[in-house]
Amino acid sequence: MATLRALVRATLLTPVLALASCYTPDGGLMPTSGRGFTYISTPTQPLTIKIVNICKLDAADVPEVFREWRLAPGRQLTFKFLHGQGDNASERPDQLLWEEWDAGTTTGSLRNQMPCPPSVCRRIDVDIRPPEPLPVEDASKEVDTKASGESRQPDKDPREIYDP
């Protein structure tokens, strides 16, 4: 009886746990701040994502851009931070995990990683670039609406075309 109960619990919880690990812009089934961030670049809103280290300023008091992604339209960036997993306890105590996928990908492994600044020094900047210009149509492919230079419109009043 106990094994049957454990089997039923495992069967019911497996889909919930699988859905809870989804990467979506709204956070998936159970969104929390520690689950990760997903940004999708579209043709009308191409994105540039920057992680800025606000604790390091240059001579002009501009924060250091720690990492930058220029996402092509139709791509998505998913990343998350692991607290205390970095290589330097004072400057880079956390670990950044990220992956760039085709837009709409909801599950997968974040295979890229690097040490990053602590959460009090990080800022995520999202810039929307101007959309790429649409391709110019070739004038030779335009449809000629006039047959041999004459109008294709009827000479008569259109209401009288079908009258006997």
Q: Is residue 142 part of a domain?
A: no
Q: Is residue 20 part of a domain?
A: no
Return the pLDDT at 50: 96
Q: Is residue 96 part of a domain?
A: yes
**Which residue ranges in the chain fall short of pLDDT 50?**
16-20
Domain region containing 50: 33-132
What pTM, to 2 d.p., does this model score?
0.65
Return the pLDDT at 103: 92
- Among candidates 8, 23, 45, 19, which has minimal Cα distance to 104? 23
pLDDT tens-place string over residues 18-62: 444 566 665 555 555 566 889 999 999 999 999 999 999 888 889
Return the pLDDT at 122: 92
Return the pLDDT at 153: 58
Q: Is residue 50 part of a domain?
A: yes
Kindly report the number of other CB atoms within 10 A of residue 35's CB atom: 16
Domain count, the chain: 1
Return the pLDDT at 82: 92
Which two tokens mark 124? 């995520």
Q: Is residue 144 part of a domain?
A: no
Q: Is residue 140 part of a domain?
A: no
Query: What's the one-letter identity of residue 40?
Result: I
Q: Is residue 3 part of a domain?
A: no
Q: Is residue 14 part of a domain?
A: no
